[in-house]
A and B are shown apart, each in its own frame.
Chain A
Amino acid sequence: MSQSVQLWTRRRLLIAGGALGAIEFLKPGLVSAFTADNISPVAPGWANPKNTDINYRVDGYAKVTGAKIYASDVRGTDLDGWPNDMSYATLVLSPQAEKTYLGLSLPALGDELQPDRVITADDLDAAAFAATGFFDTDLFCKPGTVPLYLGQPVAMLFYDDLATLHRAQQVLIGNSAFFKLGDAQPPADETPYGAYRFTRVAGDSPLGPDVYSPLLDGWVGPRRFRETEAPVWTKPDATGTAPEQASFFGDQIRTEMKAGKSGKVYAQSFQTQSIDHVFMEPEAGLATYDADTRKLYLMLGVQSPQAILTAVGNLVKSAKPPKQVGEIDGHFASLGGGFGGKDHTIMPLYIALAGLYAPGRTVRLALNRYQQFQLGLKRHAFQIENQLAVDSETGQFNAYACDLTCNGGGRANFSTVVAHVGATNASSIYYVPKSDVTATASKSIAVPAGSMRGFGTLQTMTAMECLVDEIAIDLGKDPFDLRRQNVLQTGFLNLTGNAASGASRSAEVLDRMEQSALWQDRAQDKADYEAANPGKTYGIGVACVMKDYGGGGDATRAAVSLSSDGKITLHSDGVEMGTGLSTASARRVGDHLGRNADVVEMFVQGAWDALRLETSGNAWAITQADQDKGAQNPRWVPLIASPTGASVGASVNSHGPAQAAYVIMRYGLYPAALSIWGEGPLGGEAGAEFVTFDKMRWVDGKLTGVGMEPLTLEQLAARAHRDGLVTGAMVHGYNRWSWTTATFPIGGESLTLAIDALAIQQGSDEWSLIDRTEVNFPSAQFERVGVNYYATCGAVVGLGVDKVSGEVDVQAVYQVLECGRPIVPDLVSGIAQGGIAMGIGYALHEDLPLYQEGPGDGTWNLNRYHVPKSLNVPVWKTIVDVLDPLSETDPPKGMGEVVMIPVVPAILNGIHDAVGARVNSLPATPDKIRKAL
């Protein structure tokens, strides 16, 4: 059993045995007293033969004993074949982006701290290294130019001595003396990264068909940008092209609202701030380069391994000797937190460069916390202008107009996607028959923003939930009644004109919130709190949101293998970022094989070579014709791999393992059982019964059904291996707001699964690839859907406010979550509890100035960036109430993001309930609350 920890903690390919062996580089001759046996206690009980609830996380033992599992833990001596000699690199980041950068003043470091090597933009030019594709940017600011953004790297310094590195890093913090600067320059081109207009006019029924919608007519972008800032939309024409019609209908909706034809119009101007992910593990990695073999080795901690390998490939593809790269060997560790900030981060490109410029050494590039604030991705700050037209008698929502801008900072990253995801979710849980939403992703010199838990919807749905609260109060309506009345019901079309997947259970979530003791006993709670806290006022706030999960282009790869002695090994191409994906994936394997996977390995490069997948084109923009053409090749898939993000762990990443395990059960274990049960004259014990696959049940870790003798996994595995039955399955699945399905000839049958590639192992054979006989990729038009997988979450928050100081103290949170079938309930509620804390931080405490004196100046750290501590969180009074699935066959829904959202508007609404202050600018600081009074 100890094997699960061993393999889990160190990816087999990279780490030699005895990871804590002698390390001697600071002063030669030192030998550490430690051996590996200190750190690998066995993990009894993991395999969980009763197949009931999971007892603990598969990585629990490794994490609680301090095993080496993060990229920042690893050194050259830990890695097989990597040089033991280390060098340490550090980035020099520009604290300004307004003046011309003229160069680095290295003498300012002093004689003792001179680096052993320096690389700058010139070195990259000389070797023809360049960031292209997704990361198209100047990796280092060129002398004579203005930095593109605050925190842009200007150079990388290398130190072969560790103590010197630490001294140099400390001297560099917030020290402007190293930068030679010229004159101030006007800002460079600030044309937005992109913009969208989502206009929808319903027909007679909320169920459709619509008169006009993005789903029917296509997505609309602007003609150009005025003065490089505001989008200019095509001139309106009721019968013209899709963009012309969007302008026509959109303008019409706004004109009607202005003229009072749509009811009472509630307008709201809402601002959200920039924040940092503050994952506990700052970004770090190792690289080494072998010039002889032209091989580049990487050890990284990222959410998007495949995208990063591609990006590093782009970086080096045109390189000149002596720095040519023929092969990249990437290794990917568990993450000490991600939250979106380690998805498509640019840091690995610098790690790769670090390795390329110190051949013969293993180079470690690790950000300290100041650098993480200065270089790491940020959450987009939003400006939201909402208008909701409501029938003031009935409370029915009639029309919705919204203009939003998100500040993407100095690199595009995912800014346009954040803008459109924010826009298409902006109406929260409500149905509105007419809507016109514009979204602009703007460019600035701020530290670049990227994906972060909530991905635009946190911002827009928070605004909407505060607006709805305002409307309920103004119309004198009950906050639950008004919400239920307008809720998006099953089949109703959303802002893109699409119906959500599955039944809508938002009303049920609202009911549960209303029934909670926190809401029902609010008057008593208020009296009690105010008696115990004289001068402070109690308030209660509610909010409910539905957040999309999935990225409209998500892939899963998984391989499950069963050894002859019944041990299950799972390879998944997801990344363990703390959410428990590895545990949940192992559990889904257990659904089919009666026991959770014994060994789970996450993202091992090359583990899926047997599928020989091919792809072409851009999965998000492909035409139907191109897709149909691609589909003729049985190796072709629209997309090979996607990041662990967008809440896809449960829905996508664990889907592959489940499908693979099903194949083994159906064509390995089931025939093996039949073989055992059928032994003897006239078909043995099975001869007298009609035994079918659907009757199979795992009971106490043994397979039975129709009264047959229960068989252990060991018995079944031995038989499957002996008889050459299926003992391993490797799959690829693709989801574009719908699963690809394909049919495969196997076991003399035609098997249709929600996958598009399959390889199997029979007995103890190598992998063999099975060509699909039919495939149904979701139509290319599905890209217009924008949103259709949702999880719903509502929060009731009780809080106290000191009216004079403006201080807020969150007292209790009751959260209701609908997430389909929770794979591991303890993981679901744990993630929800963390989401609540993060929501509290976003609502009340966390804030970063975008420009001057913001994180780009290199002096930000946790002393003044206030991540919630336990005293800011109602640790003992947090309840997470998860709705039961409709049946055990409900799909698991992505819930990692939605659980941090409703608590934010619920807090703002609670502040209003307590003291009457409506704060429409995050975070709700004491000063803002006092001013709003």
Chain B
Amino acid sequence: MAKLKMTVNGKAVGPHDVPDDLPMVVYLNDILGLTGTKFSCGIGVCRACVVMVEEPDGSITTRRTCIAGATSFADSKVTTVEGHATHGQLSAVQRAYVDNFAFQCGYCTSGFVNAGTALVEQLRQNPVDKNQVEQAVQTGLGDHICRCSGYVRYFEAMRDLILSDTTLTKEG
């Protein structure tokens, strides 16, 4: 047991008494009531459970929450799928997915929202050549499993979004 505190979607949560082996996805789902983060394979393969983490240096990474205890997120700044839209407005990545009919059942969507957003943030720091965008999308989203869509529209949505934001690419 540890007194667990962290920041989720910009709000401080805790302190909570949480056993070390309670999965983060269960902490989010059952204790915070944030069920947008999905449990699917439970072994870190499918990445439906991915959340975004802001590192102390301000960089954005993603983490799987089914194979990591909630206490391993102690004092982290976590963003879940519920934390992207503000004032009723979808984030750019969310909007790109919705406008492109990217998902169908939607169960993998929160992982794709977080991975896609992390990719955009990473490209903002290190823009890629325009002709490397498809490869960047593959690198950023390629480990995520979707059973409905064949990935086509998720990838196209991200490619088009990246190409439409001049700060994310450079002339190749």
Contact = CB atoms under 8 A, between A and B. Distances in A.
Given A55-B99, A166-B22, A834-B104, A65 B82 contact: yes
B12 interface: yes
Contacts of A77: 33
A162 interface: yes
B67 to A, nearest CB: 11
Interface in A253-286: 277-282
Interface stretch (A30-38, A324-332, A549-557, A679-687): A30-38
A505 B25 CA distance: 49
Contacts of B32: 23, 32-34
A2 B99 contact: no
Interface residues of B, number: 71
Nearest to B20: A163
Nearest to B101: A826
B121 to A, nearest CB: 18
Contact of B138 (A60, A580, A835, A871): A871
B98 to A, nearest CB: 4
A368 interface: yes
B104 A831 contact: yes
A27 B152 CA distance: 44
Contact of A66 (B8, B80, B144, B147): B80
Given A61-B98, A280-B145, A66 B40 contact: no
B24 to A, nearest CB: 12
B141 interface: yes
B54 interface: no
B106 A63 contact: yes
Interface string A32-49: 111000111110000000
Contact of B147 (A166, A279, A833): A279
A230 B145 CA distance: 41
B126 interface: no
Contacts of B113: 64
A839 to B, nearest CB: 9
B105 A166 contact: no
A84 to B, nearest CB: 12
B82 A64 contact: no
A288 interface: no
B31 A867 contact: no
A20 interface: yes
Interface stretch (A409-417, A476-484, A767-775, A872-880): A872-880
B78 to A, nearest CB: 13
Contacts of A61: 90, 98
Interface stretch (A68-76, A184-192, A638-646, A917-925): A68-76
A338 B46 CA distance: 17
A166 B39 CA distance: 13
A75 B30 contact: yes
A368 B16 contact: no
B34 A66 contact: yes
A282 B13 CA distance: 29
B104 A875 contact: no
Contacts of A66: 34-37, 80-82, 109-110
A870 B135 CA distance: 12
Contacts of B16: 26-27, 30
Contacts of B110: 66
B86 to A, nearest CB: 8
B170 interface: no
A335 interface: yes
Contacts of B22: 162-163, 166
Given A65-B36, A280-B40, A369-B41, A580 B104 contact: yes
B97 A827 contact: no
Interface residues of A, number: 82
B150 A20 contact: no
Nearest to A368: B42
Interface in B70-103: 80-85, 87-90, 94, 97-99, 101, 103
B162 to A, nearest CB: 14
B149 interface: yes
A562 to B, nearest CB: 26
Contact of A369 (B18, B37, B42, B144): B42
Contacts, number: 230
Contacts of B29: 73
Contact of A863 (B37, B45, B108): B45
A870 B31 contact: no
B43 interface: yes
B105 A65 contact: no
Nearest to B12: A33
B64 interface: no
A696 B31 CA distance: 55
A862 B32 CA distance: 28
A577 B104 CA distance: 8
Nearest to B153: A830
A578 interface: yes
A577 B118 CA distance: 28
Q: Is the interface of A mostly helix, strand, loop or mixed?
A: loop
B23 interface: yes
A64 B103 contact: yes
A695 B98 CA distance: 36
A505 B168 CA distance: 46
Contact of B30 (A26, A279, A833): A26
A32 B31 contact: yes
Nearest to B107: A336
Nearest to B87: A41
B46 to A, nearest CB: 6
Given A369-B43, A869-B142, A833 B150 contact: yes
Contacts of B11: 33-34
Nearest to B11: A33
B53 interface: no
Residue among A41, A55, A863 with max Cβ neighbours from chain B (10 Å): A41
B35 A68 contact: yes
A926 B33 CA distance: 46
Nearest to A170: B21
A830 B101 contact: yes
Contacts of A876: 134, 155
B104 A830 contact: yes
A875 B102 CA distance: 13
Contacts of A278: 147
A167 interface: yes
A139 interface: no
Given A32-B13, A64-B90, A870-B151, A280 B104 contact: no
B46 A833 contact: no
B126 to A, nearest CB: 22
A871 B141 CA distance: 10
A27 B3 CA distance: 12
A60 B152 CA distance: 17
B143 interface: yes
Contacts of A68: 35
Given A66-B110, A837-B151, A867 B98 contact: no
A577 B147 CA distance: 12
A579 interface: yes
Given A41-B85, A166-B22, A834-B149, A63 B43 contact: no
B119 interface: no
Contacts of A836: 150
Interface of B: 8-9, 11-13, 16-19, 21-23, 26, 29-43, 45-46, 48, 80-85, 87-90, 94, 97-99, 101, 103-110, 113, 134, 138, 141-153, 155
18 contacts: A2-B88, A22-B33, A23-B31, A34-B33, A38-B9, A59-B106, A162-B22, A162-B26, A163-B21, A163-B22, A166-B23, A280-B145, A336-B38, A370-B42, A578-B104, A830-B149, A861-B41, A870-B151
Q: Top 5 A-B pairs ranked by shortest CB distance?
A: A66-B36, A578-B105, A336-B107, A63-B106, A837-B150
Given A38-B9, A280-B105, A578-B107, 19 more contacts: A20-B34, A26-B18, A26-B30, A32-B31, A34-B9, A60-B98, A62-B106, A65-B84, A167-B21, A280-B48, A337-B105, A338-B105, A368-B39, A368-B42, A578-B104, A837-B150, A870-B151, A875-B150, A878-B152
